[in-house]
Structure 1
Amino acid sequence: MNTFQADRFVRAHLKMRHMVLLVELGRNGSIAQAAQASNLTQPGASKLIGELEHLLGIQLFERQARGVTPTWYGQVLIRRAGIALAEMTAAHQEISELISGLRGKVDIGSVLTPATGLLPKAIKLLKSRYARVHVSVDLNTSKSMVERLRNGQLDLVVGRILDAESAAVLDFEPITDEDHRLIVRAGHPLAERADLGLAELAEQSWIVPPSGSILRDRLTALFLSEGLEPPMETVETLSPPLVASLLMTTDMVVALPEALIQSYIDVGLLVAVPIDLRLRMDVYGIITRKGHQLSPVASAMLTALREVAVEYYPSRARRRSVPPAP
């Protein structure tokens, strides 16, 4: 489909109800449920799908006994429709903000370390300037949050770009990297051990992030590089309060940046074991969609993040860049 044909398809044939139905089909996988969520009859929804497939000359969904599954073409259209609807929602919010003064909502995703220092200070700065702004924060892995950012579900992410496809469509402003230490409770049998090796650590009970996270992959690679099986006794969590509670009440160990649990270290509840794990994470930074105009609220949040980042890490250059493809 050339540019003229694509433009004609969008302007002459594609309607808002098509996009709403596509998004609901992506969520539900059922024509009946998607039709109900889109305020359509089931025959009406089937007709709209048929129209799109006829216009494009491709199959968008595979019909199955228990619903429909999008083809590759269908997945592309669902993702783009979701972005388009998110943009219209943002437009409505932006108009409301301009009418009534700066207010509204900004959705941010963050990995754990900046969520303990950088992000709270930036939110505090933003709220001191615009008290009526609502901030929603999602703590998760970079991979999950970047996907939500690309789909228009988040305005900003403080995290990492992990693949070349995302790097091509996102802007990245580097902040800093993370040196991970082995953390245990005060009085732990390993607390003062400067001679610890990986073989002994492999026998310990570990608190680890979920599978698919960078840290989990690098922990696994660390043990495998020495011909060792990764630890078998593990608890998976991204919750800092749960991590701290497990550390203080058990003999479990965890690899974390000290900044993440500094308050517990300061009062003597947790300690960093005096060994070098050789575990350093890639630089995290502020991620936005390339060429996307942020809403006034999201733009104000970005400004606050940049200002606090300069205060926190004055030695690091703060410029927009795209990391090299992995």
Structure 2
Amino acid sequence: MDIARRMKPAHLELILKIAETQQLQLAAQALAMSQPAASRILSDFEKTIGSPLFIRHPKGMELSSAGAAFVRHARVILGEVETLEHELGLLQAGALGEVRVGSVTGPAAGCLMPAVQAVLESSPDLEINVDVAPSTELIRQLEEGRYDFILGRIPPTHDSRNFHIHPARTEVVALLVHTTHPLARREDVALSDLTGFPWVMQERGMPIRQAVEAAFHAEGVPTPPRVLNSSSLLVALAQVARGQAIAPQSEEVKELLVHADIGANIDAVNLRQPIIVPSYFVIRDGSRKLSRAAERLLAEVLERI
């Protein structure tokens, strides 16, 4: 413990440099240290250990058996210190650590994943976790501390004053269909043309479902009678691929599927009037400070919004 209390990285570097140069004066010069100061540090270590670290010869200094053990461990200690400094630097720069984010489907495809990709390209050691879920679930888990921030909407059951809220954008609904669907090639499609087909939609109360139903009500058109309820994009695409189902998703999801060639044979209905979903937001807990890594990802998301 006496050794541990006296050890400083600069002292260990001196011992290693003496072992390397075999000259006290050269070691002191290399470390910008006076020779008397270097001699005093070496003498203190040898007194504490109770054994010489070096055997002095007219032509230089040779490690003793105690010195060889000291040098071996000093290299390990200094290596760990350098690793610690590097890791702390990465943490302070937001290039290391863990970030947890939740999002509703549209923003996840439109701005969150491009932001994640940009951050990981410059900081590949950063661990990022992304979940996609309805806003009610995202808000609940944000309050529980599971997420650093989310992209979604604040349910009426929650007080917005408890959160830091960054304005985002509205969503436009895209009605996804198979390329062989009868309405896939038509222009200026009215809502009344859509009621005879099967639909796969988010559960009642979800924003896109509400926007679609509100659009039908505003036009005085009955809502589609044949609806499979599911918030799963995979289920929606499976239904679209199997026949004449219509699946409302965000325009951002459509862009990802159609223009990135992810959704083969997926098209969208050209509606006469667009269906708009109320704005989503970037939301974080007002009582917690973000890590530097989470701040980096948040900045990338906001830049894309």
Indicate the larger mover: 114-123 or 234-243.
234-243
Code of the residue aligned with 2:210 in structure 1: it is D
**Change over 3 Å in CA distance of 1:152–1:235 after alignment to 2:** same
Deviation per residue, 1:76-113 (Å, 9 max, x gap)? xxxxxxxxxxxxxxxxxxxxx97584233211011112
Deviation per residue, 1:140-199 (Å, 9 max, x gap)? 112221121122221110122243743111122122221113221112112234464434
The partner residue of 2:295 within 293, 299, 303 is 299
**CA distance, structure 2, for counterparts of residue 168 and residue 114 of structure 1:** 23
**CA distance, structure 2, for counterparts of residue 289 and residue 142 of structure 1:** 14
The partner residue of 1:269 within 265, 268, 273 is 265
The partner residue of 1:140 within 107, 124, 133 is 133
The partner residue of 1:238 within 207, 231, 237 is 231
Q: CA deviation at 1:133?
A: 1.8
The partner residue of 2:284 within 283, 288, 294 is 288
SS in structure 1 at match of 2:237: helix
Aligned to 1:192: 185
Indicate the larger mover: 230-239 or 210-219.
230-239
**CA distance, structure 1, for counterparts of residue 256 and residue 215 of structure 2:** 28
Deviation per residue, 1:235-272 (Å, 9 max, x gap)? 23333344333223211012223331335434672222
Contact 1:143 1:161 in 2 (8 A): yes
**CA distance, structure 2, for counterparts of residue 263 and residue 118 of structure 1:** 11
Give the alignment of 1:204-219 within 5 angstroms. Answer: 204-219=197-212
**Change over 3 Å in CA distance of 1:228–1:163 after alignment to 2:** same
The partner residue of 2:241 within 232, 243, 248 is 248
Unaligned residue ranges in structure 2 (runs of 5+): 1-85
- 2:101 is aligned with 1:108: yes
Code of the residue aligned with 1:274 in structure 2: it is N
TM-score, length basis structure 1: 0.58
Aligned to 2:122: 129
Q: CA deviation at 1:278?
A: 3.9
Contact 1:143 1:213 in 2 (8 A): no
Deviation per residue, 1:189-227 (Å, 9 max, x gap)? 122344644344223211111233111222233334455
Q: CA deviation at 1:292?
A: 2.2
Code of the residue aligned with 2:184 in structure 1: it is A
SS in structure 1 at match of 2:254: helix
Aligned to 1:279: 275
**CA distance, structure 2, for counterparts of residue 164 and residue 235 of structure 1:** 27
SS in structure 2 at match of 1:123: helix
Code of the residue aligned with 1:296 in structure 2: it is R
Aligned to 2:161: 168
TM-score, length basis structure 2: 0.61
Q: CA deviation at 1:134?
A: 1.3
Unaligned residue ranges in structure 1 (runs of 5+): 1-96, 314-326
**CA distance, structure 1, for counterparts of residue 112 and residue 188 of structure 2:** 36
Q: Which has the larger radius of gyration?
A: 2
The partner residue of 1:117 within 106, 110, 127 is 110
SS in structure 1 at match of 2:146: coil
Code of the residue aligned with 1:279 in structure 2: it is I
Aligned to 1:223: 216
**Change over 3 Å in CA distance of 1:129–1:265 after alignment to 2:** closer
Aligned to 2:172: 179
Contact 1:181 1:276 in 2 (8 A): no
Give the alignment of 1:300-315 within 5 angstroms. Answer: 300-307=296-303, 309=304, 313=305
Number of residues paired by the alignment? 215
